[in-house]
């Protein structure tokens, strides 16, 4: 009997190619299904300390005109204009306040660039508040809350292009171990790959491990839960972040005095609120205000917010 070796190998190869093809068709569905209810483990690290070293450097600006007060801007999601879907709209068909279009975002960043704005790191901001660092008159801090995947897809290239940097407050439990295809119409968060690919522009800080939630009576977890429980959650996020505790942003911008004591205890140097005013020397470092940029903001509105 002949061994049919060529035929067999060919047949097996075709089989494996076809099988791989079918698996690849459904790969994302499997990844999504397996990953969807899974939190990023508390006892694992996101592993990007090495590429976040730049956030430790404090630049020597030697500005000709020194800033008295600056704006910290707050964003959440940025989606391409074509990608805007029902999920981004409220019941009246208006864009949710947490979503802006990429074209608007690009125009804003272009303006910052054209006007020679400097984007500060969290550490530089801290030094500025404490009066230890002179910063240019035209300085701004960009912050992105929650760590949506669109930040990696849409925001990153724009910031990279203009050589700017931003703080990204991530809910570390939401980080995905496996990368998925980006879909604007879903709530997707950074994957480990996304973190790695964008860590030269974003400095990643804690937005809790898994406490971006409210109690039934709408009290945010940070306020509603007992302090030791909150502490555990924040500690988990810090473990994920390998101890990087330069800055913290409270979910919904809501916090109480005990929270502030906890931030201090955990070694955070600064914490942010959502109070839309300017920041100046002497601002309480644990209550740094932020101005949210809304989808309805015109470029003139934006100008006012950064001035």
- Give the binding site for another protein (CB under 8 A): 1, 3-4, 8, 11-12, 15, 18-19, 22-23, 25-26, 29-30, 33-34, 36
The token pair at 140 is 């701004």
**Which residue lies nearer to another protein by CB, 15 or 54?**
15
The least CB distance from residue 280 to another protein, in Å, is 49
**Which residue lies nearer to another protein by CB, 34 or 85?**
34
The least CB distance from residue 115 to another protein, in Å, is 46
DSSP string, the chain: ----HHHHHHHHHHHHHHHHHHHHHHHHHHHHHHHHTPPPPTT-----SGGGGGGG-------SSB-SEEEEEEE-EEE-GGG--GGGB-TTSPBPTTEEEHHHHHHHHHHHHHTT-EEPPHHHHHHHHTT----BSSEEEEEEEETBHHIIIIIHHHHHHTT--EEEEE-GGG-BSS-----TTS--B-BHHHHHHHTTTEEEEES-SS---B-TTS-BHHHHS-HHHHHHHHHHHHHHTTT--SEEE-GGG---HHHHHHHHHTT-SEEE----S-EETT--TTSB--EEPPTT--HHHHHHHH-
**Which residue lies nearer to another protein by CB, 33 or 299?**
33
Q: What are the distances in angstroms from CA 150 to CA 100, 156, 184, 222?
A: 11, 9, 7, 26
**Which residue lies nearer to another protein by CB, 2 or 216?**
2
The alpha carbon of 166 is separated from its chain's Cα centroid by a whole number of angstroms, namely 9
**Which residue lies nearer to another protein by CB, 23 or 277?**
23
The least CB distance from residue 85 to another protein, in Å, is 18
**Which residue lies nearer to another protein by CB, 18 or 277?**
18
**Which residue lies nearer to another protein by CB, 22 or 229?**
22
The least CB distance from residue 13 to another protein, in Å, is 12
**Which residue lies nearer to another protein by CB, 38 or 132?**
38
The least CB distance from residue 6 to another protein, in Å, is 12
Residue the block writes with tokens 């061994």: 3
Q: What are the distances in angstroms from CA 293 to CA 66, 231, 299?
A: 25, 30, 11
The least CB distance from residue 33 to another protein, in Å, is 5
The least CB distance from residue 2 to another protein, in Å, is 8
The least CB distance from residue 120 to another protein, in Å, is 42
């Amino acid at each position: 009997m002949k061994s049919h070796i060529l035929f067999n190998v060919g047949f097996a190869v075709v089989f494996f190619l076809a099988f791989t093809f079918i698996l690849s068709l459904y790969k994302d569905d499997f990844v999504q299904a397996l990953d969807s209810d899974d939190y990023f483990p508390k006892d694992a690290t996101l592993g990007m300390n090495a590429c976040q070293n730049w956030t430790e450097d404090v630049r020597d600006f030697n500005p000709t005109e020194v800033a008295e007060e600056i704006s910290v801007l707050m964003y959440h999601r940025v989606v391409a204009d074509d990608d805007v879907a029902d999920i981004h709209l409220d019941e009246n068909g208006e864009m949710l306040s947490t979503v802006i279009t990429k074209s608007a975002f690009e125009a804003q960043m272009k303006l910052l660039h054209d006007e020679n704005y400097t984007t500060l790191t969290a550490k530089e901001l801290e030094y500025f508040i404490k009066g230890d660092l002179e910063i240019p008159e035209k300085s701004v801090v960009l912050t992105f809350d929650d760590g949506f995947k669109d930040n990696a897809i849409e925001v990153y290239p724009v910031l990279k292009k203009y050589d700017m940097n931003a703080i990204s407050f991530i809910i570390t439990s939401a980080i995905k171990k496996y990368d998925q295809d980006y879909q604007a119409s879903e709530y997707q968060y950074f994957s480990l790959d996304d973190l790695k690919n964008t860590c030269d522009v974003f400095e990643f800080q804690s937005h809790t491990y898994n406490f971006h939630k409210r109690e039934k009576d709408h009290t945010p977890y940070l306020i509603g839960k007992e302090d030791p429980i909150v502490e555990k959650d924040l500690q988990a996020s810090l473990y994920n972040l390998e101890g990087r505790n330069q800055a913290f942003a409270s979910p919904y911008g809501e916090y109480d005095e005990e929270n502030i004591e906890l931030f201090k205890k955990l070694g955070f140097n600064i914490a942010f609120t959502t109070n839309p005013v300017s920041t100046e020397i002497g601002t309480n470092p644990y209550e740094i205000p932020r101005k949210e940029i809304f989808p309805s903001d015109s470029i003139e509105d934006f100008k006012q917010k950064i001035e």
